[in-house]
Amino acid sequence: MEQMDIKNRWGKWAGCLAVMAVLLLAVLPVKAQKSSLLWKIKNPETKAVSYIFGTYHLIGSAYLDENAPVKKAYEEAETVVVETELDSSAMMMVAMKAMMLDNSLKSLVDSADYVLLKQEIEPIIGMPISQFDNVKPIMLSTMYSVAKAQEVTPKDFTFDGTPIDLFFAEDGKEKGKKVVPLETAMEQAEILFDSQTVEEQAAALVENVKAEVEDDLSAEILDAYQKQDLDKLWELSQDWDESMGEMTLLLDDRNKKWIPKLKPLLDEGRVFIAVGALHLPGEMGVLELLKAEGYKVSSQ
C-alpha cells in the first residue's frame, strides 16, 4: 500500500509538466485545430498508422472506459510513448533540484504578497506555506494550480484509477508493450525547476495566485478540455502569460526534441503517444511539426 501511494504521488509530480501545459503556459497566435484530443498519424510511404492523445494529468485511468476511441487506440498499439517514466532511483536527485537552501520564499516576495499567498494557498493545499519556504516557488505554484483545478473538477470528470499518464507507462509494460519515455525524470526536473530564476518563479507565483483570484481560470480550462477544444485551451492559456514564464522552453523546444525520437517509431506504426494536451496545437505543436515531416495527421 505504501509503495503504491509513493508511486501515485510520484506520478502526480512526473505529470506536472503536462498539467502546466494545460494550465499555465504563455502562447502565440496559431492555426485553427479541429476540436479533438485524439489524432491519427499516418506515414504516406509505409502506410503505418499511429495515434497521439492529449492528456489532462488529473484524470484517472477509468477515463478510458468512457472514451472507446482512445482506449482502442491504446490497446491496439504495440509501442506506448509517454513524456516520462516513474524512476524511483532518481527521486532523491529530483528532490534536491527542488530545494533552494540559500534562499527563502519570505525573502523573495514583499510582506503584503506573502500574506496574500498564505491566505489564498494554505486553504487550497491544506498545508502552511512555511513548509515550502526553502523549496523553489515553482513547486508551490504548481501545487496550487493543481489543487485549484481539482477543486473545480466536477464529480463526473474525476475518474478513478491510476493517474492516466502513469497508467499508460505501467499498464503498457504489464501488457508487454514497448514503453518509450521522451524525457527522463531529471530532464523534466531541470525544465521545471531551472527554466526560471527563483526570483522569477516567486513573481510568477504571486501573479498566478492573483490571476486565479480574479478569474478562476481553472474552471474554464477544464471545461475546454472536456469539450476537447484545443483552440480554446490555447486561447485561455494566454491569460497565464505573466504567471509561468518562457513558453519556448516548456513547449516549443521540447516538441522539437521529441520529433526525431518519434519518427522511427511512427515509421513502423502501431504507436500510441500520450503527452500533455497543449503539446498538440500551435505552429510549433507536435501536430504541425509532424505534418512538416510529411505525416498525414487527422482528428478522430
Q: pLDDT per residue over 237-291, tens digit each? A: 655 544 444 556 677 889 999 999 999 999 999 999 999 998 998 888 899 999 9
Structure confidence at residue 96 (pLDDT):
87
For residue 26, pLDDT over 60 is answered with no
CB atoms within 10 A of CB 105: 23
Contacts of 86 (CB under 8 A, 6+ apart): 7, 10, 11, 14, 166, 169, 170, 185
Report the distance separating Cα 47 and Cα 64, nearest Å.
27
Average pLDDT over all residues of the chain: 82
pLDDT tens across 27-67, in order?
223 333 457 999 999 999 999 999 999 998 788 999 999 99
Read off the pLDDT of each residue in 131-135 and give the average, rounded to a whole number.
94
Report the distance separating Cα 185 and Cα 4, nearest Å.
18
- CB-CB contact of 254 with 24 (8 Å): no
Alpha helix locations (H) across 42-90? 68-76
Residue 229 corresponds to which amino acid?
D
Structure confidence at residue 247 (pLDDT):
56
For residue 25, pLDDT over 60 is answered with no
Structure confidence at residue 85 (pLDDT):
83
Scan for cell 478522430, then name that residue.
300
Residue 220 Cα distances to 9, 153, 157, 233, 295, angstroms: 26, 10, 14, 9, 32
Report the distance separating Cα 70 and Cα 115, nearest Å.
44
Report the distance separating Cα 137 and Cα 188, nearest Å.
16
Structure confidence at residue 217 (pLDDT):
67
Report the distance separating Cα 73 and Cα 269, nearest Å.
12
Q: What is the CA radius of gyration of the chain?
A: 19
Contacts of 12 (CB under 8 A, 6+ apart): 57, 146, 163
For residue 207, pLDDT over 80 is answered with yes
Structure confidence at residue 183 (pLDDT):
93
Report the distance separating Cα 163 and Cα 58, nearest Å.
6
Structure confidence at residue 61 (pLDDT):
94
Report the distance separating Cα 78 and Cα 179, nearest Å.
9
Please state the φ and ψ torsions of residue 79, each to the nearest 5 degrees: -125, 135
Read off the pLDDT of each residue in 124-139 and give the average, rounded to a whole number.
92
C-alpha cell at 42: 499516418
Q: Which helix (H) or strand (E) holds 254?
A: helix 253-268
Structure confidence at residue 64 (pLDDT):
95
Q: Which residue has the higher pLDDT, 211 or 243?
A: 211
**pTM greater than the 0.85 cutoff:** no
Contacts of 201 (CB under 8 A, 6+ apart): 136, 137, 138, 141, 245
Read off the pLDDT of each residue in 80-93 and give the average, rounded to a whole number.
83
CB atoms within 10 A of CB 11: 21
